[in-house]
Amino acid sequence: MSKKQIENNNAPFVQPNEQLDQEETKYTIARVPFYKRLFAAVIDLCFFLLVSFGLLTLCYFTVFNALGYHEKISQIHQLYAESGLYVKNEAGEFLTYLDVYDENKSPMANLDEPITYFYSHDQRAILDNKLEFYNNEKIKSGFFVYDGDEIVAKEGVKYDDIRPFLEEQFDSAVYYFKSNPIYLNNSTFTYYTLIFTILIIVVLSSSGFYLVVPLISKFGVTFGQMIFKFALIDKEKNIMASKKKVVFRYLSFATINIFAPVLLYTRVPYLSLIPLFISILWMAFNKNNFAPHDYISNTYLGLKLSLLNQEKHGSIYRHKSDYSLPRIDDPAQ
């Protein structure tokens, strides 16, 4: 063997694509395109919402009935109807007269009459002399005067001047109505019954779709991901993720995309979808289309075919540390 052949045989082995970006060589299994991942997530979400809604409906007609939920709701509606401050619309919702203000009527007809009726008929309001207090406030405002036993709008005062005062007084009447112990107890009970039921259903449904299914599936993926033939990959080892990784991935995914939005909804409903939007934007605009839970769990979604090819034929690329491996001499030489 010539000196030149010996040098060649002892040279480090280099892949033909050694010029590939160093970041690319970290992932030996083809990663899932963003649009496919998004479609799979939408399919999973539809299944998840369908099952969750079904469970909630079942609870509504069974568990809620046993807990007395419907009875307490009926008592709340009765309080609304008897107060004179609320009106029931065609959809069956109770709205205040301030919400359904009729511009064709005067502020007196829209607001003063309901306030006076409430303070004159509610037993708590009668005991607390709320009507007397309200009448005193009307006189103090300068917009009203006594006309015999009645209080009427002062001559020359415009309705536009009276309206803000009456709106403030109406809000005070509604606040007083909602301080009723029966209303408070019933509304608190029904609210937390609904919230905790939703939380339990979300936990059960999400753990079924996003944890149990991946744990029992061959490639650690959900129904939607199965349709697109994905596989869950361990980012460190570039092999199929272990069951432990599947569990950790579910916990990080559920915390960010399910539990955080639900808990936010109970406090600030208009902010509830922010964690989900952040997760989608993060996935859409980073180089590898990884979501936050991918980074936390150190996993990523790869194509199942690519994983099978790697297991059968070996990796297409090697890590940079593998480039220095000595080349094996050909026994035939």
DSSP-derived 3-state class of residue 264: helix
- pLDDT tier at 26 (50, 70, 90 boundaries)? low
Q: Tell me the residue length of the chain.
A: 333
pLDDT at 4 over 50: no
Give the model's pLDDT for residue 155: 86
Residue among 275, 256, 273 nearest 210 (CA): 256
- Sign of the dihedral through C-alpha 48, 52, 54, 55: positive
pLDDT at 322 over 50: no
Provide, rounded to the nearest whole percent, the portion of the chain with pLDDT above 70.
86
Give the model's pLDDT for residue 272: 85
Tens of pLDDT, residue by residue over 35-84, are: 999 999 999 999 999 999 999 999 999 999 999 999 999 999 999 999 99
94 against 10, higher pLDDT: 94
Inter-residue contact 28 to 317 (CB < 8 Å): yes
Tally DSSP H helices, then E strands, for the chain: 17, 7
Give the model's pLDDT for residue 305: 87
pLDDT at 147 over 60: yes
pLDDT at 10 over 90: no
Give all strands of the β-sheet with 230-234 in edge-to-edge order.
Answer: 239-240, 230-234, 299-303
Tokens in use for 53?
């809604």
pLDDT at 285 over 50: yes
Give the model's pLDDT for residue 328: 37
Mean pLDDT of all residues in the chain? 85
Tokens in use for 243?
């069951």
Please write down the long-range contacts of 80-89, taking CB distance under 8 Å and 24 or more positions apart. 82/121, 82/122, 83/118, 83/122, 83/177, 84/114, 84/117, 84/118, 84/121, 85/114, 85/115, 85/118, 85/170, 85/173, 85/174, 85/177
pLDDT at 263 over 50: yes
Inter-residue contact 179 to 79 (CB < 8 Å): no
Count how many Cα atoms sit within 13 Å of the Cα of residue 295 in the half-sphere of its side chain: 11
What is the rounded radius of gyration, in angstroms, for the C-alpha atoms of the chain?
A: 34
Asked which of 115-119, 179-183, 277-281, 320-324 is least confident by mean pLDDT, the reply is: 320-324
Inter-residue contact 315 to 238 (CB < 8 Å): yes
